[in-house]
Amino acid sequence: MEDLKRLEEFQAKIDAGEKIEPKDWMPDAYRKNLIRMMSQHAHSEIVGMLPEGNWIQRAPSLRRKLIATAKVQDEAGHGLYLYSAAETLGASREELLEALHNGKAKYSSIFNYPTLTWADMGAVGWLVDGAAMVNQVSLIGTSYGPYSRAMVRICREEAFHNRQGYEIIAELCNGTEEQKEMAQDALNRWWWPSIMMFGPSDADSPHSEQALKWGIKAEGNDSLRQKFITMTVPQAHARGLTIPDPDLKYNEETKQWEFGEVDWDEFFNVIKGNGIMNRKRLKDRNAAHDNGKWVRDAAAAYALKKKTKVA
Amino acid sequence: MYTDEIKEAQKEYLLRLADDRMILSQRLSELCGHGPILEEDIALTNISLDLLGQAKLYYEKVAELSDEEVTADDWVFFRDEREYWNVLLVELDNEDFAHTIVKQLIFDVFEILLYGEMINSKDADLKAIAEKSIKETKYHLRHSHEWMLRLGGGTEESNRRLRDAIEFLWQYTGELFYTDEVDDILVGAGIAPDVSKFRDEYYKTLNKILVESELEEMDPNVWMQSGGRDGRHTEYMGHILATMQYLPRSMPDAQW
């Protein structure tokens, strides 16, 4: 009875657009749903460092190398905020990482695709960060305070990454034939996976409905996907690039770009671990963690010694 | 205006400074996403970024001093290993976190002393770069120093790994003090610091940190490796450049 009343008050607060803060009462399912979302988001940031880190050493100019390095550093920073934000819900970074490393937790499936050419650094910034940004701008409106505030800061940096990615693509499109082909090829490979980043259609998305009711998500998958497509198609056309979707057409009435059938079979398979890079990404994350154990142990032992000395 | 002799010496000198930082940055960037803890991914990437920024400033100045139409990028992407002048230390393999930290420490202590002198350079650009860089270097040294204490005073394993690292890397410290006529000309003109002046202080500082880190002092007067300043590198160097340079070299007409 008590719980029902608290639940009503909780829902009323959300409906009134107020933020929920760490010390406020919240239903267990709300807490769990948020931990799941925020940790997936944090994991995506740190796994996402791998496909981009793959190109830092090969960036083709000093300027590009500086930008690429700074960008991957930003992703690490985002990971750190998000793990800290998730800690306000009582989930420790260690347990969240453990779930990532043993394969129980998910991260954005997009990072299970390989970065094959330099143009992929452009495509990842332009499309992947672009899609992430559309999603994250909407998450500024999330009902959980710490998550919302983390999003404000992260979105600012993602907007920057998105512009830099597009700039790489633009530079390639202005370049030699070979460079143009490289840009088109990257778009061909990254377009559909980027569209899939918004998750399955709301009708097939298991977490969507409750997440919307509680204001965890502010907008559904389909509407965010449409926003991204309508924003991105003209950017591709402006550079003379072709979107790899023969069914793509502009609807004069709705002012939206309508798109073809998404291959959800591929999406669910990559989520299940059958993407070309799934194993390698987890192997690299695990290796970094395992190889770093002696370092973390040393730091802990040193801190303990210092503490005992003071005491 | 500088004489041609000074100008040539300066180009050579700047390339040495640039190459040291470029290759060390490149090595550090390999660790991005593979650090022992997220905070270290951020810290090591940041250090890599600072070094890259410093290298860029030096390469740009070399390009300015050149009579031909060259850019900073040309120096980075279109020279072979026999034309790279970095010390051997910076090209060595990352091995493990202890090697990374010791390598950084060896470099950071030197850099602090070098920049501490270079801020008095008569060359305005060099002075400005030194003033900017010394601030970054203070952070780098604090980072490597703090980790020395933790690894040395942490566990048996971390102490052993740290000892292995210093015992191996020590032979690469001597080359930091390599000088030839390039230095003679620039030291004479008040442009470059005289590194021999702070050699004793350098080894004293390093040894002090080693002792604080529960390691034995090391002897500065042992056999030291050299060759980098003459383009005689380790076998690692060719692989570093192959990775770093392949794209601009495979499409030399392209802009990026």
Instruction: Find the closest chain B residue to A171 by CA distance.
Output: B256
Which pTM does this prediction carry?
A: 0.96
Q: Does B161 touch chain A (CB under 8 A)?
A: yes
- Arithmetic mean of pLDDT over chain A: 95
Give the model's pLDDT for residue B53. 98
Q: Does A286 touch chain B (CB under 8 A)?
A: no
pLDDT in tens, A116-133: 999 999 999 999 999 999
Contact B206, B106 (CB under 8 A): yes
Judge whether residue A19 has pLDDT over 70. Answer: yes
| Helix, coil or strand: residue A257 | strand
Structure tokens that stand for A276 in this block = 């070309």
Give the model's pLDDT for residue A2. 67
Q: Does A287 touch chain B (CB under 8 A)?
A: yes
| Closest CA–CA distance from residue A206 to any residue of chain B (Å) | 31
Mean pLDDT of B96-124: 98
- Number of A/B CB contacts below 8 angstroms equals 141
Least trusted range by pLDDT, from A202-206, B90-94, B194-198: A202-206
What H or E segment, with its residue span, contains residue A39? helix A28-56
Q: What dihedral do alpha carbons B191, B68, A118, B236 form, nearest 10°?
A: -60
Per-residue pLDDT band at A311 (split at 50, 70, 90): low
| Helix, coil or strand: residue A176 | coil
Beta-carbon separation of A62 and B59 below 8 A: yes
pLDDT in tens, B133-142: 999 999 999 9
pLDDT in tens, A85-94: 999 999 999 9
Beta-carbon separation of B158 and A297 below 8 A: yes
Of residues A175, A292, A301, nearest to B255 (C-beta): A175
Per-residue pLDDT band at A3 (split at 50, 70, 90): confident
Number of other CB atoms surrounding residue B169 within 10 Å: 19
CATH topology of domain B4-250: Ferritin (1.20.1260)
Contact B127, B120 (CB under 8 A): yes
Q: Does B250 touch chain A (CB under 8 A)?
A: no
Q: Which residues of chain A make contact with B246, given a CB cutoff of 8 A?
A: 58
Instruction: Find the closest chain B residue to A83 by CA distance.
Output: B38
pLDDT over 90 percentage in chain B? 98
- Arithmetic mean of pLDDT over chain B: 97
Instruction: Find the closest chain A residue to B246 by CA distance.
Output: A58
pLDDT in tens, A48-74: 999 999 999 999 999 999 999 999 999
Tell me the domain boundaries of chain B.
4-250
pLDDT over 90 percentage in chain A? 93
Instruction: Find the closest chain B residue to A168 by CA distance.
Output: B256
Judge whether residue A309 has pLDDT over 90. Answer: no
Q: Which residues of chain A make contact with B35, given a CB cutoff of 8 A?
A: 288, 292
| Closest CA–CA distance from residue A50 to any residue of chain B (Å) | 6
Distance CA B197, CA B220 (A): 15
Burial (Cβ within 10 Å: 0-12, 13-18, ≥19) of residue A271: middle
Residue type at A308 in one-letter notation = T
Give the model's pLDDT for residue A139. 94
Beta-carbon separation of A171 and B255 below 8 A: yes
DSSP state of A144: B
pLDDT in tens, B1-14: 689 999 999 999 99
Q: Which residues of chain A make contact with B30, given a CB cutoff of 8 A?
A: 57
Q: What is the ipTM of this complex?
A: 0.97
Of residues B72, B158, B247, nearest to A294 (C-beta): B158
Distance CA A39, CA A45 (A): 10
Those residues whose C-beta lies under 8 Å from the C-beta of residue A166, and which sit 6 or more positions away, are A122, A125, A126, A130, A235
Distance CA B15, CA B12 (A): 5
Distance CA B61, CA A61 (A): 16
| Closest CA–CA distance from residue B106 to any residue of chain A (Å) | 19
Beta-carbon separation of A176 and B45 below 8 A: no
Q: Does B219 touch chain A (CB under 8 A)?
A: no
Beta-carbon separation of B38 and A56 below 8 A: no
Distance CA B197, CA B181 (A): 17
Judge whether residue A206 has pLDDT over 90. Answer: no
Beta-carbon separation of B48 and A72 below 8 A: no
Give the model's pLDDT for residue A1. 58
pLDDT in tens, A210-265: 888 999 998 999 999 999 999 999 999 999 999 999 999 999 999 999 999 999 99
Judge whether residue A134 has pLDDT over 70. Answer: yes
Distance CA B179, CA B182 (A): 7
| Closest CA–CA distance from residue B196 to any residue of chain A (Å) | 32
Least trusted range by pLDDT, from A1-10, A160-169, B164-173, B236-245: A1-10
Q: Does A73 touch chain B (CB under 8 A)?
A: yes
Q: Does B100 touch chain A (CB under 8 A)?
A: no
